[in-house]
Amino acid sequence: MAGMMAASQVLDRIRKEIIGSGVDTRYPVGAYEFVLSGLDFYLTNIGEKRHVSGQEFSAGLLNFAHKQFGLLAPEVLDFYGIKATDDFGNIVYNMIELGIMSRTSDDRIEDFNGVVEIKEFFKDKECLKIDPEFIKRIKGA
C-alpha cells in the first residue's frame, strides 16, 4: 500500500508541477505513469536495477507498450501524445527536473531522438489475420 501512495503522490506532483503549472502540457499524466511503469517492467525483465541509456529505455518502452496494449499500442501511445521516441525523452527529462528520475553526466535528452520509428516498430509485430475461408469452413457454410 505504501508503494501505491508513493505512486499516487508522484503522479499528483507531475500533474501539479509539470502539467498544471504549464511547464509542459504536451503529455497527460497517463503518459508519465506509462513511462514509470515501463521502467519498472524493463528493469524487472533484465533482472537488475541499473541505469539504462535513452536508446535502451526507448526500445524497452516500445516493447512494454506492445506487451500492455497489443495491436492497440500505436493508438494508445498517440493518445498519450507520444509520436516518436523523442517524446519519451521529453517525459523522462521533465521527471528528472522534478527529481523523480535521475541521469548520469553522460546522459542527454538527444539520446532518445529518433531511436526507432514507432509506427514501423509496431508494423513488424505479429498481427492477427482473419481468414474468411477458414471462418466459412468452420461454420459449415
Q: What residue spans define the domains of the chain?
A: 2-139
Per-residue pLDDT tens, the chain, 141 aa: give them.
344 556 899 999 999 999 999 999 999 999 999 999 999 999 998 888 888 999 999 999 999 999 999 889 999 999 999 999 999 999 999 999 999 999 999 999 999 999 999 989 988 675 555 566 766 776 765
Predicted local confidence at residue 133, as pLDDT: 73
Predicted local confidence at residue 2, as pLDDT: 41
Q: What is the pTM of this model?
A: 0.84
Predicted local confidence at residue 3, as pLDDT: 45
Kindly provide the b/e burial profile for residues 37-67, where b requires at least 16 CB atoms within 10 angstroms of the residue's own CB: ebbebbbeeeeeeeeeebeebbbbbbbbbbe
